Amino acid sequence: MAIYVVMQPPADNKAEDVRFVRDSFTWLGFLFSPLWLAWNRLWIEAALTFAVMAILSVAGERLGLEGAGSLLSLLVSLYIGFEGQSLRIASLRRRGWREWGVVEAGNLADAETRHALEAGEESEEQPALPRIVPDASLARPPQTGMALGLTHTPGRP
């Protein structure tokens, strides 16, 4: 079973525009990090990833450590593979989207169905709770004795 984070659009959009972001490792983000980030409209993250990977490769070549530069670039790709979906969620939050919750499902279609069922339950009118008014006759009488501490006793200077 996979976990999907359900993101609701800003208030002016329709409720059908809900996005489901699977909270898992992304293989395409690992294999093609800058391209995957650009595909998901994470422009700043894509540019930074490309720049960091290029700098690490050039630094590795200049220092004669070709293997070290490649390994460090691999670490950047591994980070995007693990945190790519979180970056997508953070980008949606910056654009005004709200996190509705999480849904556990086997695939995207099941997640959409579960979300529709749970969102339908929330939209039903809940009966109004009865108003509770305290009965003054059941209240305990005010204490007129001395109190400990720095409390103010009404009627005394």
At 71-117, the pLDDT tens digits run 889 999 999 999 999 999 999 999 889 998 899 999 999 998 998 88
Q: What kind and span of H or E run contains 33?
A: helix 33-39
Query: DSSP of 107-145, one letter per residue?
Result: SHHHHHHHHHHHHHHHHSPPPPPPPP---GGGSPPPP-S
Which position has the token pair 């654009």? 95
Q: How far is CA 142 from the centre of its chain?
A: 50
pLDDT of 157 > 60? The answer is no
pLDDT of 141 > 90? The answer is no
Q: Distance (Å, rounded) from C-alpha 36 to C-alpha 81?
A: 10
Tokens at 8, concatenated: 């609701």
For residue 86, give Cα distances in angstroms to 19, 24, 46, 57, 74: 13, 9, 14, 26, 19
Is 104 strand, coil or helix? strand
- State how beta strands 98-105 and 19-22 pair: unpaired
Q: How far is CA 17 from the centre of its chain?
A: 17
Average pLDDT over residues 15-19: 78
Report the pLDDT value the prediction gives residue 126, as an integer from 0 to 100.
Answer: 62
